[in-house]
């Protein structure tokens, strides 16, 4: 599971959950992988990302992103950092925890099981 | 990439080891899926460098094929944990630079609330939905609607030719352009015990749906 996917995951399917986002990650095994950087792709993706969730989650894995996403032109250096956070951190084993109910969703072999 | 190369590479993806009738798990043949992907990329440019979701990914043929065709990120979605796990095994035969761009999730496509944060996050959605023939009539339309919600540009899908009028009417209702790209004959081999004949041919349309606001 990449943080790009995590940025879209919620526990909204659970009863009595109003936001259920972002899910807390408990990681038992994490892999750093290498993915080719694509500047145009990253620029497009960033506009759709929930920045606060990404910034906080990335910090958990040692990637420090700015508090606010700069308006207008984003430097190549920052784009590569965001690429690293979104695409190159792989959670292999662990779980996702609902921020409201504490319900846990397992992650095995890199795949979150989000069946409710 | 040449069609023959793509077809050969996708041929290494295994069929379902233990197909489940409740999910209508039929694999799309290598012959059909490689040609679908080739059309999506060469005719419409909707795979290379794109953000792609595969709804009902099954054995993962369309997912791996999309990554092979240069999609920058592919999310494979299936509700059957066994299928998702098998798909991950299938991907192990491929190079890291292909599989590193794939994410997989076990989740229910029909769960509307869960997918809300995914809306418009993808350029292209692919789906080979259950045809809705076995006790779950209309499920193909739920899959199609979900794919349209998740995408900003286009959706590629397969539906039974007998439902064409209904599909085109729905597309109109949802304000998307629909085009039948090809009419295929799906040879469904006898994989389940209740099948009376050794294989059944069904007529299937290969669709491209395009959001009117994009491009």
| Token code pair at residue B129 | 């939905």
Domain ranges of chain B: 3-8+26-211
B161-211: per-residue pLDDT in tens? 999 999 999 999 999 999 999 998 877 665 555 555 666 778 899 999 999
Q: Among B80, B98, B157, B169, which residue's Cα sits nearest to residue B125?
A: B157
CATH top-level class of B3-8+26-211: alpha beta
Residues of A contacting chain B (CB within 8 angstroms): 1-2, 4-5, 8-10, 12-13, 21, 33-36, 38, 40-41, 44-45, 48, 50, 87, 109-116
Of A1, A38, A45, the CB nearest to B103: A1
Largest CA distance in chain A: 42
Buried residues in B59-79 as b, exposed as e (16+ CB within 10 A)? bbbbbbbbbbbebbbbbbbbb
Distance from CA of A1 to the nearest CA of B (A): 6
B103:A9 CB<8 A: no
Q: Which range, B9-13, B98-102, B136-140, has the best average confidence (pLDDT)?
A: B98-102
Which residues are CB-contacts of B204 (< 8 A; sequence separation ≥ 6)?
Answer: B131, B158, B159, B160, B161, B183, B184, B185, B186
Cα separation, B106 vs B77, in Å, equals 6
Report which secondary-structure segment, H or E, holds A86: helix A76-87
**Which residue is associated with the tokens 């499920």?**
B139
pLDDT value at residue B163: 93
| Token code pair at residue B92 | 């192990």
C-alpha distances (whole Å) from B6 to each of A45, A65, B62, B87 are: 27, 39, 11, 18
Q: Are strands B51-55 and B122-127 parallel, antiparallel or unpaired?
A: parallel
Query: In this predicted structure, which of B43-52, B116-125, B132-141, B145-154 has the lowest mean pLDDT?
Result: B132-141
| Token code pair at residue A100 | 């409201």
pLDDT value at residue B202: 82
Residues of B contacting chain A (CB within 8 angstroms): 49, 51, 72-73, 75, 79, 81, 84-85, 88, 96-97, 100-101, 103-108, 111, 113-114, 116-118, 120-121
Given a cut of 50, whether residue B129 has pLDDT beyond it is: yes
C-alpha distances (whole Å) from B139 to each of A74, B128, B186 are: 42, 12, 19
* φ, ψ dihedrals at B145, nearest 5°: -65, -40
pLDDT value at residue B29: 78
pLDDT value at residue A95: 98
Mean pLDDT, residues A84-91: 98
Cα separation, B85 vs B127, in Å, equals 19
Given a cut of 60, whether residue B111 has pLDDT beyond it is: yes
Question: B105 contacts in A (CB within 8 Å)?
Answer: 1, 5, 111-112, 114
Of A12, A110, A111, the CB nearest to B116: A12
* φ, ψ dihedrals at B206, nearest 5°: -100, 115
Quickly state the pLDDT bin for B58 (edges 50, 70, 90).
Answer: confident
- Reported ipTM: the value is 0.96
pLDDT value at residue B186: 76
Residue B22, exposed/middle/buried by CB under 10 A (0-12, 13-18, 19+)? exposed
Contact B78, B56 (CB under 8 A): yes
Query: In this predicted structure, which of A41-55, B46-60, B183-197 has the lowest mean pLDDT?
Result: B183-197
Contact B80, B20 (CB under 8 A): yes
Given a cut of 50, whether residue B215 has pLDDT beyond it is: no
Computed over every residue of chain A, the mean pLDDT equals 95
Angle at the Cα of B196 (from B191 to B202), degrees rounded to 5?
A: 70
Q: Which domains does chain A have, with CATH numbers?
A: 3-14+24-112 (2.20.25.10)
Of A33, A113, A114, the CB nearest to B100: A33
Cα separation, B123 vs A96, in Å, equals 26
Helices (H), chain B: 3-10, 30-42, 61-68, 81-91, 96-99, 112-115, 139-150, 164-173
B83-94: per-residue pLDDT in tens? 899 898 889 889
pLDDT value at residue B100: 96
Cα separation, A3 vs A85, in Å, equals 7
Given a cut of 90, whether residue B12 has pLDDT beyond it is: no
Cα separation, B107 vs A10, in Å, equals 12
Given a cut of 50, whether residue A8 has pLDDT beyond it is: yes
Angle between helices A76-87 and A39-46 (to 10 degrees): 80
What is the share, in percent, of chain B residues with pLDDT greater than 90? 60
Q: Among B108, B168, B165, B148, which residue's Cα sits nearest to residue A13?
A: B108
pLDDT value at residue B32: 87
Quickly state the pLDDT bin for A16 (edges 50, 70, 90).
Answer: confident
B69-84: per-residue pLDDT in tens? 999 999 999 999 998 9
């Amino acid at each position: 599971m990449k943080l790009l996917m995590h940025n879209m995951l919620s526990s909204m399917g659970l009863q009595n959950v109003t936001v259920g986002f972002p899910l807390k990650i408990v990681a038992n095994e994490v892999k750093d992988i290498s993915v080719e950087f694509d500047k145009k792709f990253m620029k497009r993706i960033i506009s759709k990302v929930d920045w606060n969730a990404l910034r906080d989650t990335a910090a958990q894995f040692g990637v420090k992103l700015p508090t606010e996403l700069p308006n207008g032109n984003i430097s190549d250096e920052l784009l590569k950092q965001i690429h690293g956070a979104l695409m190159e951190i792989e959670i292999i084993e662990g779980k996702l925890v609902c921020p409201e109910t504490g319900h846990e969703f397992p992650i095995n072999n890199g795949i979150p099981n989000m069946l409710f | 990439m040449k069609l023959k190369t793509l077809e050969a590479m996708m041929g290494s993806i295994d069929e379902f080891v233990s197909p489940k009738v409740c999910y209508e798990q039929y694999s799309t043949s290598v012959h059909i899926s490689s040609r679908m992907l080739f059309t999506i990329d060469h005719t419409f440019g909707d795979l290379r460098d794109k953000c792609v979701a595969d709804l009902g990914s099954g054995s993962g043929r369309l997912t791996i094929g999309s990554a092979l065709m240069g999609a920058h990120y592919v999310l494979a979605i299936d509700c059957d944990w066994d299928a998702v796990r098998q798909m991950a095994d299938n991907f192990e035969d491929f190079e890291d630079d292909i599989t590193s761009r794939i994410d997989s999730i076990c989740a229910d496509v029909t769960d509307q609330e869960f997918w809300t944060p995914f809306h418009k996050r993808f350029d292209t959605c692919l789906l080979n939905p259950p045809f809705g023939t076995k006790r779950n009539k209309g499920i193909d339309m739920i899959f199609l609607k979900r794919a349209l919600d998740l995408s900003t540009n286009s959706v590629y899908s397969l539906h039974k030719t007998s439902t064409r009028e209904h599909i085109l009417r729905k597309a109109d209702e949802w304000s998307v352009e629909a085009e039948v790209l090809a009419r295929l004959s799906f040879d469904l081999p006898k994989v389940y015990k209740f099948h009376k004949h050794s294989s059944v041919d069904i007529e299937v349309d290969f669709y491209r749906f395009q959001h009117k606001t994009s491009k």
